[in-house]
Amino acid sequence: MKNDSKLNYFTTLAKHAILFSLAIGLIVLSGCDSNEPDPDAGEQEVITDIIMTLTNETTGSVTSARAEFDEAGVLQSVETVSIQAGTTHSVSMEFLNEIEGDDITEEIEEEDEFHQLVYAVGGSAAARTTITNRDTDGNGNPLGLSFTLTDTGATASSGTINVTLRHYEEDAQLPDDKVNDDGGSEIPGIVENDVDVTFPLSITV
């Protein structure tokens, strides 16, 4: 009887030890899973700074304009884009997450099929200033990290340049959805705007 009691005691102890080990294992696995990166290709980018760099194609002079956002994505400041009348500029765009120290431009280039920059000139400058895309994604469709800004006027003017960074979700039917997107409205479940900001535009003589 004493041997049976000891056997039952050790059997029960072993069962509890196994259950305790399984519980610890599940906790560890859950902790690892929570640290795994989100595989969703449509995850919205966190962007705090946008830099537009303009190079005058005639003189080679370089100017820039920056827009800054806080950690919640609220616009804090935006600089004016200044050009001379009748000039053409090569323009490049840079997107940064200064909070995390990330260059979002590189991420846009790596996931170029899921991104597109859409530009619109507004105000009185719209009738004389045009934007022409210069780069493409892996499918040969417009990307917009670089473009040409051309003004054909001879007098001073003003306006705006709206910059929208379109981000296509994982379930987008690429490249068709991207080609058919006019940038004027979002397609539910397929695209969202990582950035929608308007730079003032000043044209001088």
Please state the three-class secondary structure of 125-167 as a single string: HHHCEEEEECCECCCCCECCCEEEEEECCCCCEEEEEEEEEEE
Look at residue 33 in the predicted model and tell me its pLDDT. Answer: 30
Residues of the chain with pLDDT under 50: 1-3, 5-7, 9-10, 13-14, 17-40
| DSSP-derived pairing of the beta strands 115-122 and 191-204 | unpaired
**pTM > 0.85:** no
Distance (Å, rounded) from C-alpha 129 to C-alpha 11?
Answer: 84
- Tens of pLDDT along 149-198? 999 999 999 999 999 999 998 888 889 888 888 777 777 778 889 999 99
Look at residue 189 in the predicted model and tell me its pLDDT. Answer: 73
Distance (Å, rounded) from C-alpha 42 to C-alpha 189?
Answer: 10
